[in-house]
Structure 1
Amino acid sequence: MTLKTFIEQLSLAALLLGMLNGPVRAADEIAFWNTPQHGGNSFNRLPPDQAYFNALRGYGASWVRLSYDKWQSAQRDFLIGDADHYQGLVAQDLATLKATLERAQAAGLKVVITPLSLPGMRWSQNNGGKFDDRLWQDKAYWQQSAAFWRDLANVLKDDPTVAAYNLINEPAPEKMGGLPEHASLVDMYHWYQQQQGTARDLPAFYQMLIKAIREVDPLTPIMVDGGWYGAADGFSYWPKALADQRVLYSFHMYEPYAATSAPNLKRVKPYQYPGIVPFGQGKEMWNVQRVATYLQQPFGWAKKNQVPANRMVAGEFGCIRMLSGCRQYLEDVLTVLDKKQAHWAFYSFREDSWDAMDYELGKSKVPWSYWQAIDQKKPDTLQRHKTPEFEPISSRLSKNSPLTDQNKKP
């Protein structure tokens, strides 16, 4: 054992001891999800400061879906050390995560921990832009991923800020496995029949991770994304719900992606919303009715498999803010989610490395100082404010704003 490894293990042991002597979870967090919860996604390159969390809570958010994979680590991959071979949590990174959770708690926010990488599945933006399919080819990485989640759950199990563990963001075992995106239901069923028991069996993978977590943490809710990057039709081929009764099922909504994504604005004639847009193997008219029928899929699956509606989560949704129909798109998506009384988290809140879905910026381009801050690894200093683009989200959040509550007092 090297001196560096010894010091890291000693630091981790001290941190774990301190946490074991810390406060016990005050309440069973599954109750938090019994009523609709609305929040935002935090995928920032720097750990969010207190002002960030205060601002999100000030709008009325009750939770934040927190990803840490862009944060700087002394090792290759934040918290897991090395996605090529997991050997234990990185003590320094764990301390950074815990301090961030404390800031969220001080603001009155619940947190859903959301890794973008697992052993054998390094997030593409940390992997030279290449999709990492190893997790879906070799079950040895399943074992390492289970060990990671067991270790992390053992540390966080009594943290009252943590409302759920989101096991992995946007898994896509289908991508290199021969199933086209948005395939027909028949094709999905046929594909899964061939893949059951293999390393591409997403429900089985989740069952392994849940079993590992429950060995040390029987209570904290667990959130799982559907397949094909969390698409709303990603649960469609699952033959049944997972056995654990404390599971939340999360889907993401960016469809029609050809219109809502950044590459669309580079087209000579960008696709519009509402409008006819490529989807699957053809083109379709996308409007509020098509949004509603598409989003019905995860809720239809839930009803068929006796999953309560309050266990379904729109974990991400959004569109490029400069798209002329973005505001209408957000309104249409949220109208459907309102009717379902669904939990949701918009993408994204004050992201400091990608401005395209930062609705507080309206339709304006960011100044050069924004990109300079990224290059210099300094905090983003742009001022944000309410805009027409943010209104569909902010108006709904404001119903739960602490400022609104104060105004109601005599």
Structure 2
Amino acid sequence: MLLHRSLLCVALAAAAPVSAADITFWDTPQRGGNSFNETPPDRAYFQALRSTGATWVRLTPDKWRSAGGRDFLMGNADDYQGLVAADVVTLRRVLDDAGAAGLKVVLVPLSLPLLRWKQKNGGVVDTRLWQSLDNHEPAQRFWHDLATALKGHPALAAYNLINEPAPEYGTTLAEHAPAAAMQHWYAGVQGGPRDLRVLYRGLIARVRDVDADMPLMLDAGWYAAADAFDYWPAPLDDANLLYSVHMYEPYAATSAPNQTRATPYRYPATVPFGGEQVHWDAARVRGYLQQPMDWARSHGIGANRMVIGEFGCMRRWPDCGAYLRDVLAVAEQQRVHWAFYAFREDGWDGMDYELGNKALPWSYWQAVKKGKAVQPPRSMQAPLFTPILERLKAGAR
């Protein structure tokens, strides 16, 4: 099986064009959406996203059913032995459909070898990757194999090397700690297995062995927190890098658990954040997202190399529309790239803004229970989707 997988990678790479992606796509602001679906999206799905004015899609295949094991593409994240041939074929078909619809794709894994995504790991955070430098090696082989198999595919605009890494998890460093505390923590782990920059250097080197030009997107630590570049002493040494953060803060208000509170947190309002009570409003959103921009500017990184790779809020939260407008206003003012979470997710409706802010009708759930292939009642004219659609359409002009 491993030989078959290796031969497949070589054959696919040889059949592909020599070059597909370069950094110039990212020279001007690009606006798009996230695709985290359980079923491989088809061309109609990508055409619908493209019709909004979106130019790119941040796509993960990790939720798709693998033809060769527990984990899509990897077969088994516990013991990576090479790409699953049939899974690569499926992925290339999806990339073909995205490209045919006029979208560029940023491919992002939720898991790596020895770092299985929590939601596919029984709800347990997998920290094996961060336990030793030797444990980085299977992830390096995975990205070398994947870059070989996909080299030259014309739909690809970047590889986002891992979604929301958290090497800080389980250590003394709290989420949203002050910059000085982050820098002190980093001084103690620098050069070791929890050094995210060390992981990225290894992955980048293995991609560059086979693809010198593909842009590579790097999430900040602590689940891509906007304040988690604060401990990076410098960017990495590669001309084709993008730096990405995600925006769900204040998470206590934007997330699902808030919807079950007797009195949900509102926005603008004072809510828990970083171990304190913090007032969140448009100014606070702007100030929080300014942190990675200041880090970038201090190191000579342009705004066109910065990305808000995910942002969103629970659609039934009364203040979701106002929150989306405030985040989008910052992204547009900063002229960074962005992708909203999420476009027509098929396994969860919490951030499917085309559904509006009401519960799905009982008739829909009855049809699902009966096994019928039924689509929820989406509308691009839903008021909650309006702030996103307006920005997408404006960007397309």
Q: Helix, strand or coil: the match of 2:96?
A: helix
Alignment of 1:54 with 2:62, yes or no, is: no
Aligned twin of 2:59: 66
Equivalent of residue 10 in structure 1, options 4, 8, 25: 4
- Distance apart, 1:281 and its partner CA: 1.4
Q: C-alpha separation between the residues in 2 aligned to 1:149 and 1:236?
A: 27
Please tell me whether the aligned partners of residues 12 and 150 of structure 2 are also in contact (alpha carbons under 8 angstroms): no
> By how many angstroms is 1:365 displaced?
1.4
Structure 2 partner of 1:270:
264
Aligned to 1:394: 389
Instruction: Encode CA deviations 1:260-297: one digit per residue, 9 max, x unaligned.
Output: 00100100000001111110011111000000000000
After TM superposition, the score normalised by the length of structure 1 is 0.93
Alignment CA distance shift 1:78-1:190 (3 Å): same
* 3-state SS of paired residue (2:218): strand
Q: 1:215 to 1:378 in 2, by over 3 A?
A: farther
Whether the 8 Å contact between 1:46 and 1:379 is mirrored in structure 2 is no
Range moving further from structure 2, 279-288 or 133-142 = 133-142
Aligned counterpart, 2:314: 320
Question: Which residues in structure 2 correspond to 1:234-245 (within 5 Å)?
Answer: 234-245=228-239
RMSD of equivalent CA atoms: 1.8
Are the structure 2 counterparts of residues 262 and 119 from structure 1 closer, same or farther at C-alpha, using a change threshold of 3 Å?
Answer: same
SS at match of 1:351: coil
User: 2:136 is matched with which residue?
Assistant: 142
> Which residues in structure 2 correspond to 1:82-97 (within 5 Å)?
82-97=76-91
Is 1:45 aligned to residue 38 of structure 2? yes
- In 1, the alpha carbon distance for the partners of 2:90 and 2:38 equals 13
Greater Cα offset, 176-185 or 39-48: 176-185
Letter in 1 for 2:36: F
Alpha-carbon contact 1:15-1:95 (below 8 Å) kept: no
Question: Residue 12 of structure 1 contacts residue 90 of structure 1 at CA under 8 Å; is this kept in 2?
Answer: no
Letter matched to residue 60 of structure 2: S
**2: CA distance, partners of 1:138 / 1:376:** 48
Name the aligned partner's letter for residue 237 of structure 2: A
Amino acid of the structure 2 residue aligned with 1:156:
L
Q: SS at the partner of 1:283?
A: strand
Say whether residues 1:154 and 2:151 are aligned partners: no
**Residue 20 of structure 1, CA deviation:** 1.2
| 2:296 pairs with 1:299 | no
Which residue in the other structure is 1:261 paired with?
255
Equivalent residue in structure 2 for 1:104, among 83, 98, 118: 98
Segments of structure 1 that go 5 or more residues without pairing to the other structure are 406-410
Are the structure 2 counterparts of residues 154 and 320 from structure 1 closer, same or farther at C-alpha, using a change threshold of 3 Å?
same
Q: 1:308 aligns with which of 285, 295, 302?
A: 302
* Deviation for aligned residue 1:13: 2.3
Q: Deviations over 1:179-224 (max 9, x none)?
A: 1000011110100000012110001110111011101110000001
Aligned mates of 1:379, 1:9 — CA distance in 2: 38
In the aligned structure 2, how far is the partner of 1:303 from the partner of 1:400? Answer: 24
Measured in 2, the distance between the counterparts of 1:300 and 1:56 equals 32
Q: What is the distance in 1 between the residues matched to 2:239 and 2:364?
A: 44
The answer to whether the 8 Å contact 1:119/1:145 transfers is yes
User: Aligned residue for 1:408?
Assistant: none
Equivalent AA in structure 2 for residue 71 of structure 1: W
